[in-house]
Structure 1
């Protein structure tokens, strides 16, 4: 099967009425920002009647950006059952993937060092903080003395330097607070007040 990219006006694309995948305003905004930064790199998938099989969120982002047309790949010869199943599988299969947290943290650190806007990655700040808390194992073949690596905590636009030990201490205090209160809300006030 040869796939061909077509460029279609937004008005010719039809949303699937029973699309079960939801897109929050926040997630659509993330898609808008991604398209602005990287371009429309992931074509929507349509059937013979221009009805969406995949790409409802990307279409919503394209409408916000007022794009004249979007790239589309027409999937021909799928039965109605196959279209229905693929709409679900396309979304669910991606959710089943995982991350190598150490490699991901290294990539994110490199982007941060280059002052790249990591908000474009789609992670929440708490996820980034947890990710950056992943320690890189020492290179056992290296006989050099251990080096203290400085990591950064991000608060708004500020980056606060912290050692691995300081981050571990902060995470320990956070976990104790969360275990005691059953929530993360109020943790920053707890820190600022210096309460136990």
Structure 2
């Protein structure tokens, strides 16, 4: 697609904000843009469609107004159809790092799905993948949640596998006996009783130490 990209200087009053612009511009962001323009000049012109409606640069326009500028650099994309200009506007919003009004994006995508029919531009060109388009263009009550289930299910299974590997890797690592029992100190009399009990358990199981205790406890629990 051929297009013109020469920079023109326009009166700021001629530039029309897009009424359904999905990108939000908090005051702090506008202030930073104004500071950047003051320090570095215009590194990016405002891009407008054939009617002078902003395609890209709503924040830069607000910054210019903040600075009380009367003239600003503009790229006039008169070569674009309305649907193509709207698609470019949404694509610019999509790649920028900022917040969005999700309801406005949803309305725009629904409209463009029909208006871009037969155009060289598709909704996938805007930067959304198929799953995002399905979610964004559907009412929440109508969204096919198969892909959510699939993604979450895969994540859960992957987490289970990672947990199992972590447990297996640490099973043979020595740990203080107090961590297992939940107490670290006993009285002298209790210590004597524990030693006598362990001696009896080792004799009955044929094992020694922790292995004898675990086997004895497992048998006792299984008999309940």
TM-score, structure 2 normalization: 0.41
TM-score (norm 1): 0.47
Of Structure 1 and Structure 2, the greater helix share is in 2
